[in-house]
Structure 1
Amino acid sequence: MKNKKIWIGIGISLIFLYFALKSIEIEKVLKVFGEINYIYIFPVIFFTILTYVVRAWRWRYFFRHVKPIRFSSLFSATMIGFMANNLLPARIGELVRAYCIGKKENISKSMSFATIVLERIFDGFSLLFLFVIVLIFYPFPEEIKRIGYIFAVIYFVAAGILISIKVWSQQVMKIIDFLCSYLPNSLGKAIAGHTHSFISGLEVLKNGWDVFFILFYSIILWIASALSVYFMFPCCHLGQLSFINALFLLIMITIGLAIPGAPSSVGTFQYFTMLGLSVFGVDKNIGLTFAIILHITQWVVPVFIGWFYLCKEQISFGEITSSGGKNV
């Protein structure tokens, strides 16, 4: 089943890659590559690193109800996890992050994973907030607005489910325990234990100030990420595009990254980057060049830093590979 999912992901990536490369003129792409202003790569890399720093710092607030966690541990686990996302299939980097922080700080892996699920929900809400701002300042076609509405519904439903689980946590635990009592003893205990740990990870929703700071740093994170996209514009001689354009493009790229595909989201990243740029009338050949260079920077940073921390923490690549395949 696992191999089947991997091949499905690769197939999805190949389909998007086909549409991204369709009607591309290689000569024009090579010409654009030759005219790139590489000096702007440095601010792109700086703001890319900053997004991971902010992400790790924000992660602290998800654990405040459990114990204080060192920033170094959070940053290390974050970089190793995102490295895994870029090298391994099925986006198992999220499980790897939970495994690494759980192992280093002696925290339940299920509870750690619950914080990552919550983190993604907050990412979605903050990105939707920025999307509303983008819609105010730029007259997008109805098709684009509909995509935003669909994702808004998905995030609100997911958030509603998590909040409901937290509000009625005791009742949910009793129902889970009741259902697990009909399962084989070891399996039932394992599922019940993981569920209880997961629900305990939702405790952060009880503290209003923690929620406020999580939302605040979520906005900062997306602004830093948008700045990494914004500084790529002059790199490819697209200086006429604004920060608002960069925000919209970031939203399109994020939608592409949400689609299950090959490791590092090859294909989906290129297609949705080019699709976003096409809204602003950018030539497809320039769009492909832009997508390739941006993707390389987004790949190199977490892989190199993640590999450094993998060696520093004396964790083998095989260990994180197997941890991603285990239940948290």
Structure 2
Amino acid sequence: MKLKFWIGITISLICLFLVFRGIDFAKVFEAMKSVNYLFIVVSIILQLATIWLRAERWKYLLMPVKPLTFKHLVPATMIGFMANNILPARAGEFIRAYVIGKKEHISKTSAFATIVIERVFDMMTMLGFLLVVILTMKFPENLNGGGISNLLSESALEKIGLVSALFVFGLLAFLILFKELPNQTTQFITTICKPLPTSLAHKALEFVNSFRGGLRVLDTRSHIFWVIFWSLAVWFTAILAGWSVLRAFNLHLSFLAAMFINVIIAFSAALPSSPGYVGPFHAAVSAGVLFFLPTLDKSTVAGIAIIFHLSCIVPITLAGLYYLWKENMSIAEIQRVEQGEEAILADQNADSPNTL
């Protein structure tokens, strides 16, 4: 297995150990049974809505490549997020590009470039929410939640935010330069590929040119406006979904608290982990809840983390499997994509008008 897979498994196990160390499993199940499932149903609907909103946002990112409708994009989006939940190494991003490329006959590499931009906007939105939290939330001087909750100090969050901002804006600057300086980047790729066989060098240049095609959304201000709008809609809906889970356990935390916990979850999802973000997700929820309610029993908090995770993962996974069946695809096919047996970014199915 790949090294990244085992690193992810190790991080997941460490996080699970931190969350479930010394807890009373009887209390965990008691907490899970006492939940108000009406709020869980609301959370599930909102979680599914985030995928529909992502599909609407993706429409604007893909528009310079090929105009597509919301209806075209929902299946690929849902399948991609389902794949993230059941396959290792965030394979769903590549699979999403593969599905839309295969279905709509567009450059898979260009489609993947739009997903990279999508992730940049996600990170920028989370950084904005983190800034709101830091500016408006009063942090306790001495955290006494214990364990991982003690990592959520104001200074620690400021450092995390600074490092994340440097990474995000550095990546954005790179993408802009990559798009605006086509001759220079092509020449650079040609130079570093000289030692390679001619066929491999040619494929590398094709990849670069096709990837650049997916960055054309950066030329259109109106598209950027709508990408920002739908990014905010995606994450506000996700926060409402998380807030509903907290209310399901009769935790009367504010919307700002739910935003804070959602930011922690988003950052935890960036860590390598097992499929479905098992471990880091639970640790993030536990840390967030204990930050606000340090006296809450840790066994109860573990139950909250389990239900929170299931409400996010299970509905999207089931919906993705439904769309996989509807699109006449199989788990075996997307596994071949994940394993590299399908040339996901080779653009075999791309129509020439849509590929630079």
Q: TM-score, normalised by structure 2?
A: 0.88
SS at match of 2:48: helix
Say whether 1:210 aligns with 2:209: no
Larger relative helix fraction: 1
Write the distance in 1 (CA, Å) between the matches of 2:338 and 2:223.
Answer: 29
Aligned AA (2:210): S
Aligned to 1:120: 119
Worse-superposed segment, 112-121 or 152-161: 152-161
Aligned to 2:350: none
Query: Offset of 1:144 from its aligned partner?
Result: 2.5
Aligned to 2:235: 222
Mapped contact 2:65–2:213 kept (Cα < 8 A):
no
Q: 1:316 aligns with which of 316, 319, 330?
A: 330
Aligned to 1:275: 287
Deviations 1:235-262 (A, max 9, x none): 11102x0110011100100111110110
Question: Is the alpha carbon distance of 1:285 and 1:144 closer, same or farther for their aligned partners in structure 2, counting shifts above 3 Å?
Answer: farther
Mapped contact 2:66–2:106 kept (Cα < 8 A):
no
Write the distance in 2 (CA, Å) between the matches of 1:276 and 1:148.
Answer: 16
Q: 1:178 aligns with which of 174, 188, 191?
A: 191
Aligned to 1:261: 273
Aligned to 1:149: 162
Aligned to 1:107: 106
Deviations 1:97-152 (A, max 9, x none): 00000111111111111010000001111111122122222123322232222212
Query: Offset of 1:182 from its aligned partner?
Result: 3.3
SS at match of 1:231: helix
Which residues of 2 match residues 86-101 of structure 1 at below 5 A?
A: 86-101=85-100
Q: 1:293 aligns with which of 290, 307, 310?
A: 307
Aligned AA (2:317): V
Query: Offset of 1:45 from its aligned partner?
Result: 0.8
Mapped contact 2:82–2:320 kept (Cα < 8 A):
yes
Write the distance in 1 (CA, Å) between the matches of 2:126 and 2:48.
Answer: 19
Give percent identity, aligned residues only: 37
Say whether 1:302 aligns with 2:316: yes
Aligned AA (1:5): K
Q: 1:248 aligns with which of 245, 260, 280?
A: 260
Q: Matched residue pairs, number?
A: 326
Write the distance in 2 (CA, Å) between the matches of 1:120 and 1:65.
Answer: 18
Aligned to 2:146: none
Mapped contact 2:32–2:307 kept (Cα < 8 A):
no
Task: Give the RMSD, CA atoms, in angstroms.
Answer: 1.4
Write the distance in 1 (CA, Å) between the matches of 2:27 and 2:326.
Answer: 43
Which residues of 2 match residues 45-56 of structure 1 at below 5 A?
A: 45-56=44-55
Write the distance in 2 (CA, Å) between the matches of 1:82 and 1:214.
Answer: 19
Give ranges in structure 1 of 5+ residues lacking alignment.
none
Mapped contact 1:84–1:96 kept (Cα < 8 A):
yes
Give ranges in structure 2 of 5+ residues lacking alignment.
140-153, 346-356
Mapped contact 1:127–1:219 kept (Cα < 8 A):
no
Deviations 1:74-104 (A, max 9, x none): 1100111111111111110100000000111
Mapped contact 1:82–1:303 kept (Cα < 8 A):
yes
Aligned to 1:159: 172
Query: Offset of 1:37 from its aligned partner?
Result: 1.2
SS at match of 2:323: helix
Write the distance in 2 (CA, Å) between the matches of 1:202 and 1:174.
Answer: 19
Write the distance in 2 (CA, Å) between the matches of 1:236 and 1:260.
Answer: 29
Aligned to 1:10: 9
Mapped contact 1:40–1:235 kept (Cα < 8 A):
yes
SS at match of 2:183: helix
Write the distance in 1 (CA, Å) between the matches of 2:118 and 2:56.
Answer: 12
Q: TM-score, normalised by structure 1?
A: 0.95
